[in-house]
Amino acid sequence: MTVSEEKFTRQTLSEVRVWSPSLFSLRCSRDPGFRFRAGQFARLGVRKADGSVVWRAYSMVSAPHDEFLEFFSIVVPGGEFTSELSRLKVGDTLLVDKQAFGFLTLERFATGRDLWLLASGTGLAPFLSLLQDFEAWQRFERIVLIYSARTASELAYQSLIHGLSQLEHLADYADKLTYLPLVTREHAPGCLHGRITTLLQSGELERAAGLALEPEHSRLMLCGNPQMIEDTRMLLKQRDLQLSLTRRPGQVAVENYW
């Protein structure tokens, strides 16, 4: 992918955080002119040794009001982009497209009482941005965050999730959030065991949340593994929870940059 010079800015890495051998986060400076809505993504570029630039899409973890940008990435063995990205160090340059993209935002839903955020792996990123912003807490009576990982050690950002209630602008809304971590490959204390689809089919997700999925009240956002998204969408469709489109408002929103 070739992007002309005027379409991106050069940002400086300020932090690299390794969560596990396959997961890491990057934080960089933010151009004052870069605007985005919580849930959107940016195209990031890294320059290879031969001078060429590789571009990929990454959702912002950071909130729209933050003065920095943060991204959550998996290391793809042999992957052209993440192998370059994972070698970056504090002080290195990251290229960021000047425009934000994506429709995994609260604008997708005109109504709704309960917001369900279903994430697997690095699909957690846009939901962290949403949860650090004010709009979701103001609009919805209940918010359920479901975060699936293979092992408990791969559940990233736990201190941020548990600390949301300590953020000054969210302190009055903390009781709205139910957080349900899921682990698929082991049994872990405080975590549900199994895939999102399995627990959705059995009704265990709703029991754990203490909340029913209903077309009238429930609005769902899905982000993560493409197969998880497709399988979950099919299960939700069977319960009359439909994809929200411009021409037909519905109850389900997904991101399509994978």
Q: CATH number of the domain at 106-254, please?
A: 3.40.50.80
Q: Can you give the pLDDT at residue 3?
A: 53
Give the mean pLDDT of 190-208: 97
DSSP string, 6-71: GGEEEEEEEEEEEEETTEEEEEEE--TT----TT-EEEEEEE-TTS-EEEEEEE--S-TT-SEEEE
Instruction: Indicate whether 193 pLDDT > 90.
Output: yes
Q: Enumerate the domain spans of the chain.
A: 5-97, 106-254
Per-residue model confidence as pLDDT tens digits over 139-175: 999 999 999 999 999 999 999 999 998 888 898 898 9
The position carrying tokens 């982009």 is: 81
pLDDT of residue 256: 64
Assigned superfamily of 5-97? Translation factors (2.40.30.10)
